[in-house]
Chain A
């Protein structure tokens, strides 16, 4: 094993691993988060499949079942809040690309606040709905789908907190490799937004 550290064709005494060859245009972190999103989409897929069975296959006489109602207007407003946060995170990323550190901080903080507001409104909605996850399969799948999404908003907020803390500590720069720590959580945040649109349309609108 020791022989390995004896570099034959190199004069320098570098003891770490050799630099891996980059065999694709996409970098590791971005590809990693994209694949992670694929598997997240499938996790939602499992719950959407369940939703399909409970609503379409079981086919109860009314949906939502009789006394229950969903506050579509509040959720619609909440949707607008979450969607606007996609623009603020985009602004943050564009800012750091141009070297505008204040824009980066502003964008990140705004995104974080919008996300937190969304989560707050959703929890408030839960409190006032008047039915629980134990009330019929409707209650179970409603809380599972929106709760699963809420958990993703929470994870997204954590990732954004990391990026925000680091931004305020002076990390990140205009070079592509220097702001992956903003770009990667940003991709995840866009996914959380788009997923919400799908959940909103399926659960509240259709």
Chain B
């Protein structure tokens, strides 16, 4: 036991959480005792004796788990333990439950963890749809319903879509640019371990008196400043998820800028790398805004400051401005990495170079710049300055231009390509183009002030966000998971089950979210547990398709779990792709390669005779045995 507490790991983590939590609790009680206050403050939104431990306990866990060990030694000037690489690679499933600094292990940890949150959030969606299947009250009270849609959205956004992309990129990005790992491996591990903590805070809010937070994922003040304790868990969870996301983005940026293989110029980087470069720029510069505004809400709740209290000189609308200054960029944080994945998949399976490669990269940067200038299109009916409406409408319509460029480039890539659809990844990528375009068009409609005033806060918004987030982000996530599954696990998934999953998902998505446009335009409000009789039939149909969509995800889980264990062995390069991650074994060797590859051309030169992307070190490549000391040239396949 003593050794268990001494060495980093789950036991010391548990000990740290309890000890730090108790310390936080004691500190609050002691301070209140000194100040002659009642020891517990449970009347209003306060609960300092819960909020402070909810900050210190997760930190205690991270300390106990070993996230800070190296740094603490370094800071104290002690000799740091030389890296014996025991924190690299995973030899058994148990290694995935340890503090591991290997980007490939962290990538898998991310993807699996975030998918668990995806299914928890999905379960909530099923409950929501069960409630909405008929007018009136079915299975949950209105208050519970509010908590359900809030936690559903928060889990999906903060601990699924945003981090799952970080996970996929964690795995493939260093391989793609020929780096042995991320720039800051320990920070990378810390970023990952903050994520489950955020998820636990979000879900844990169900245990709080008054129920889970129920002010929507947007948590508008003053609804949120007066809400029961659960809201504070949201404020804190966002801090952990946000810190994780900022740290990862910083890591990606440094990795991409300073660790590219020789010859890998910016214009030879695969578009997935470009996509993560742009996303990381958004994260680093925008995420602090949500951190800041959630701190203000927390202060208003726990310390009784007056940021959003109109009676004491506060400003209610300022919450929305600051929130959306992060959260509009956030919708692109949730989309740009998907753009990158789709570019990889489409080019590979159409056997053609990306049409307009440079324009694709520049369009990403264009989106990054423009997305800082459109935030108030979420506030057309909020009572903000009316002069801001038209400028925001114009910038919103402008942002459709770079987005459109991307869509036409994918179509150009497909045009006269040798389109292979034997991979489920390609099916999802193709379906993404169509579904996302519909969502983009409803977005442009919403950007126009008169239309937005008509449909604001109706199911039309719900339809838009699910076309772009499910048909957009989630389809690309599935494409990415299927595409790199052989690389990550060394095994092939079952293509037949993949197809069942694909068609079920496509039909389910369209069946669920298309009718929402109609009921929205007819005035069915969002975020309400009940609705007028006239929407009954449509909603029954929506719920039926939603259950299909939910059920078919079980096929996906079965396929992934069973194939990971028993699937047929995958070769190094089953899709005959060019980028570097496919030129090493599946799964890749522990340090990605024994020698850094040399990049000699673009990543998408399919069908160009003699073209090659990278020269790899002698081993790890598919095919002929390479005599020692020689290099083989790979990356050409028509």
Residues of A at under 8 Å CB distance from B? 1, 3-10, 15-24, 26-28, 31-32, 35-36, 38-40, 42-43, 45-47, 49-50, 53-54, 57-58, 60, 65, 133-134, 136-141, 143-144, 162, 165-166, 168-169, 171
The answer to whether B595 and A9 have CB atoms under 8 Å apart is yes
B306 and A26 contact, CB distance less than 8 A: no
Chain B residues whose C-beta falls within 8 Å of the C-beta of A32 in the assembled complex: 183-184, 250, 254
Q: Cα distance A54–B300 when bound, in Å?
A: 14
B18 within 8 A of A: no
B287 within 8 A of A: yes
> A24's contact among B258, B303, B315, by CB below 8 Å, is which?
B258
Q: Are A165 and B318 in contact (CB under 8 A)?
A: no
Give chain B residues whose Cβ lies under 8 Å from the Cβ of A15: 85
Tell me, in angstroms, the Cα distance from A191 to B321 when the chains sit together: 26
Among A1, A28, A31, A36, contact of B589 (Cβ-Cβ < 8 Å): A1
Interface residues of B (CB under 8 A from A): 74-77, 83, 85, 88-89, 91, 178-181, 183-184, 246, 250, 253-254, 257-262, 264, 284-289, 291-293, 295-296, 299-300, 303-307, 309, 312-315, 317-318, 321-322, 325, 585, 587-596, 617-620, 626, 628-631
Give Cα A172–Cα B613 distance, bound, in whole angstroms: 41
- Sample 11 A-B pairs with CB under 8 A, ordered by A number: A9-B594, A17-B591, A20-B259, A31-B254, A32-B254, A42-B289, A49-B321, A136-B313, A137-B306, A162-B75, A162-B76
What A residues does B257 contact at CB under 8 A? 23-24, 26, 31
Complex CA distance for A16 and B629, rounded to whole angstroms: 19
The reply to whether A134 and B303 form a contact with Cβ atoms under 8 Å apart is yes
Choice from B178, B183, B253, B303 contacting A21 with Cβ under 8 Å = B178
Q: Which residues from chain B contact A54 at a C-beta distance below 8 Å?
A: 307, 313-315, 318
Q: Cβ of B183: which chain A residues have Cβ within 8 Å of it?
A: 28, 32
Write the nearest CB–CB distance from B225 to chain A, whole angstroms: 12
Contact A4 to B594, CB < 8 A, known contacts A39-B285, A50-B322, A57-B315? yes
Q: Is the CB of A23 within 8 A of B259?
A: yes
For A19, A49, A139, the residue with the greatest tally of chain B CB atoms inside 10 Å of its CB is A49
Q: Are B284's CB and A35's CB within 8 A?
A: yes
Indicate if the CB atoms of B306 and A134 lie closer than 8 Å. yes
Complex Cα gap A10–B619 (Å): 11
- Which of chain B's residues has its CB closest to A42's CB? B288
Alpha-carbon separation in the docked complex, A191 to B624 (Å): 55
Query: Is A20's CB under 8 angstroms from B180's CB?
Result: yes
A43→B291 contact, CB < 8 A:
yes
Find out whether the CB atom of B618 lies under 8 angstroms from the CB atom of A140: no
A-B residue pair count with CB separations less than 8 angstroms: 207
B315 with A137: CB separation less than 8 A: yes
Contact flag A9-B631 (CB < 8 Å), given A28-B258, A36-B250? yes
Rounded to whole Å, the gap between the CB of B195 and the closest CB of chain A is 18
Distance A4 CA – B356 CA, assembled complex (angstroms) = 37
- The answer to whether A53 and B288 touch across the interface, beta carbons within 8 angstroms, is no
Q: Given A18-B595, A31-B257, answer yes or no on A4-B184 (Cβ-Cβ < 8 Å).
A: no
Q: Is the CB of A8 within 8 A of B594?
A: yes
Assembly CA distance A141 to B300 (angstroms): 11
Q: Which of B293, B317, B318, B590 contacts A1 (CB 8 A)?
A: B590
Are the C-beta atoms of A134 and B284 separated by less than 8 Å? no
The distance in angstroms between the C-alpha atoms of A43 and B303, with both chains bound, is 20
Q: Which residue of A lies closest to B76 (CB)?
A: A165
- Closest Cβ of chain A to B260, distance in Å, is 4
Across the interface, which residues of B come within 8 angstroms of A27, CB to CB? 258
Given contacts A31-B258, A134-B306, contact A39 B246 (CB under 8 A): yes
Q: How far does the Cβ of B10 sit from chain A's closest Cβ, in whole Å?
A: 25
Contact B591 A28 (CB under 8 A): no
Question: Shortest Cβ distance from B489 into chain A, in angstroms?
Answer: 13
* Sample of 4 more A-B contacts, CB < 8 Å, known A18-B180, A18-B595, A23-B262: A8-B594, A38-B284, A53-B315, A137-B306
The 6 closest A-B pairs by CB, nearest first: A4-B589, A46-B292, A140-B305, A53-B318, A17-B180, A137-B313
